[in-house]
Homo-oligomer: A and B are copies of this chain.
Amino acid sequence: MRMMASGKKQKNGSAGRKAKKARRKKVNDLRLDMQGDEHEEGGGGRSESTESSAGGGVGGERQREHPFVVTEPGEVARAKKNGLDYLFHLYEQCRLFLLQVQSMAKLHGQKSPTKVTNQVFRYASKVGASYINKPKMRHYVHCYALHCLDEDASDALRRAYKARGENVGAWRQACYAPLVDIAARHGFDIDAVFAAHPRLAIWYVPTRLRQLCHQARSAHDAAAAHAGAMPPPMF
């Protein structure tokens, strides 16, 4: 028996969405393949720091990628886990796929994407990089952003969170604050910060990060107003 979830969310900082239809239609409910209960990939043991350790056995259901763990720079994740160097490597791969898509589009006189779009994710899947998917890449964009913008800070954060034994979710949350600080030094304009970095400019600014920068600016402006000297608004 499954409960019907209500499905609230905040679309892009504006008012909430209108009524949604009931979701999750449970496709693919009947298994036609020979999967029994559980199975694991047969081979094993690739272990470059930027190599996945996920499944990929011949035939059968596609395995999920192994979950990420907080690793130090250069550290190889242990069995059934992927490290953060590998995570960041996925962003580099997406960039290369974007470059491919752009080249093909221009060759054929079609409009060329400037960002990693659905089209790019579709291309990645088509050429076999099925371990790349949109929800995952969007989920960790800001972590990659910190890695791009301040690798030392990013590395330090990884070491600290690994030392404390924090899980990936906690590390991911912790990546926001240093980014807001960086944005603050650029007038809280996180779009400008992304746009100014060539490897970052191809990624959409995550909604949550944008919200946090906006909140920080409001707090900053309020504090300045309280201090007496009201600065002119940024826009």
Contact = CB atoms under 8 A, between A and B. Distances in A.
B109 A191 contact: no
A109 B214 CA distance: 5
Given A106-B235, A235-B106, A205 B111 contact: yes
A112 B234 CA distance: 14
A162 interface: no
Interface in A113-158: none
A233 B112 CA distance: 17
A11 to B, nearest CB: 10
A191 B107 contact: no
Number of identical monomers bound together in the oligomeric complex: 2
B191 A111 contact: yes
Contacts of A6: none
A95 interface: no
A13 B110 contact: yes
B234 A111 contact: no
Contact of A108 (B108, B109, B110, B214): B214
Contact of A110 (B107, B210, B233): B210
A110 B12 contact: yes
Interface string A212-226: 011101000000000
